[in-house]
Amino acid sequence: MHKNLKKIGIEMKLTTKGRYAVLALTDLALERDEDFVKISHIAMRQNISSTYLEQILLKLKRAGLIVGVRGPNGGYKLASEPEKIMIADIINIVEGKMEAKGCVSKSGSCTGVSGRCMTHDLWDELSRHIELFLGQISLRDIIKGNVLGRSSPPRAFDY
């Protein structure tokens, strides 16, 4: 019983993985002049387990956000300009998709017994908001300290 409304979540996850990813890419953005930055350096500077960071950077590399080169003088580098890399992208990649569906059971539609699930729109809208907000901020904004006082969605009315 009740095995059907489980693990179907909104999953706007935000764990250390996502934070580490943003931290690491911020580090990369700062070190842009050096050709390639080694995992171990980032790990040390940002105080992250380097083997764990490996996994994270690997995902980001597969997604094309960074490029990796092996061997001596190897390391990682941003694949594009810091202003083109948005936080939402980073998080989405390492945390695996901010899913927006709050209540779609595997059996199909999102209803309780009597056609409920009024909260669907809520979670949907929340996810949209977060994605919008993080999709607006780039790595460059972060290293420039350009984050505060940013209002996310364009406001409909003034009052």
Partner DNA sequence: TAGTTCTTGACAAAAATACTCGGAAAATAT
Partner DNA sequence: ATATTTTCCGAGTATTTTTGTCAAGAACTA
Which residues form the interface with DNA (CB under 7 A)? Answer: 1-2, 6-7, 9, 13, 15-17, 38-40, 48-52, 54-55, 57-58, 61-62, 68-76
Is residue 72 close enough to count as binding its own copies by CB under 8 A? Answer: no
Binding piece for its own copies, criterion CB under 8 A, among 40-48, 54-62, 68-76, 78-86: 40-48
Q: Minimal CA–CA distance to 13: which of 110, 131, 145?
A: 131
Q: Which does 130 bind (CB under 5 to 8 A by kind): its own copies, DNA, none?
A: its own copies
Instruction: List, in order, residues 6 or more apart from 97 with CB less than 8 Å away.
Output: 11
One-letter identity of residue 20: Y
Question: Under the criterion CB under 8 A, does residue 153 sit at the interface with its own copies?
Answer: yes
Quick check: 38 binds its own copies (CB under 8 A)?
Answer: no
What ranges in the chain are assigned the alpha helix state H? 16-30, 39-46, 50-62, 87-95, 120-134, 139-143
Rounded Cα distance, 116 and 105, in Å: 13
Comparison of 1 and 113: residue with beta carbon closer to DNA: 1
Q: How far is the CB of 57 from DNA (least distance, A)?
A: 6
